[in-house]
Amino acid sequence: MVLNICSLKHGTIQNINIPGSTIIMNSQPIGIFDSGIGGLTVCKAIHEMLPYENLIYFGDTARFPYGTRSPETLIRYARQITAYLLSRNVKMIVIACNTSSAAALPILEQENAIPIIGVINAGARAACKRVYNNTIGVIATRATVKSGSYPKAIHAINPEVKVIQQQATLLVSLIEEGWIDEEVTKLTITKYLQHMIDEKTKTVILGCTHFPILKATIRKVYPQLDLVDTSEEIAREVKEILVKKNLANNSSSGKIELYASDITDTMHYLKSLFFNGDDVPVEKLTIG
């Protein structure tokens, strides 16, 4: 076996020459960002599917919530965070926030050369594969619903599907408060979802990366629902892109770096919950 190492401007690629084949390993990290801690569901899903990849996660908790911000403000935030991640030599950026994906993804794709993906298209594709009764429900923040990004993505795949959207911004605050299985959370779920149930909806996209935290609670209230977890879907898409573009890293166990613009007790609690108590520290980082 011959190991050749060539330095790049942004990171290192190792070409391992084995008779009859060449394995390319790219150790540059993947950048992931969200408006808060909900994107940790995406970070966890990517880590579980791609344990050898290095990950840098930023949660903009100091400017949370994003769901009530204007598109102009969301684009400015996304550009600031992207600039930081690029300074860390990332090979790919995942917008682990439906609100930012809806407002800023097309602009960031145009402005940057590396792959940048959001959670909306991945969720739409998965829901269309699992659609029941030709109806798909979407619960998301007010900004994501107002953008119309999910109906647009779904109808690009299947224009015949009926899409029922519901802003469920209050659920984000309940999750941030740590009220995962409280009665008030169950009542709020009922308030947001009952009209979908009345219309025989079964397939529901969790259109905010906070919402997978509530999967078990939602199923207690509505066990018949097929919940589309966008964090799992985006992890599959990341893997496909890395393989297709020869950007995958398979050399050693990946490192996770967690940053937040404000660190709260709730973030520590949920971080521990996501990573099963693993000692992954969170560092404070101010961007913008």
Q: Which residues are catalytic, by number?
A: 97, 208
User: Distance between CA atoms of 240 and 97, rounded to whole angstroms?
Assistant: 20
- For every residue of 91-128, DSSP letters joined together read SEEEE--HHHHHHHHHHHHHH-SS-EEEHHHHHHHHHH
Strand partners, 228: 205
- Number of other residues whose CB lies within 10 A of the CB of residue 244: 10
At 259, give phi and psi (nearest 5°). -130, 150
Please give the order of strands across the beta sheet that includes 256-260: 116-118, 92-95, 30-34, 55-59, 256-260, 282-284
Helix (H) or strand (E) holding 237: helix 230-244
Q: Rounded to whole angstroms, what are the CA distances from 187 to 50, 196, 223? A: 37, 15, 15
Alpha-carbon distance 96 to 210, whole Å?
Answer: 10
Q: 57: part of which helix (H) or strand (E)? A: strand 55-59
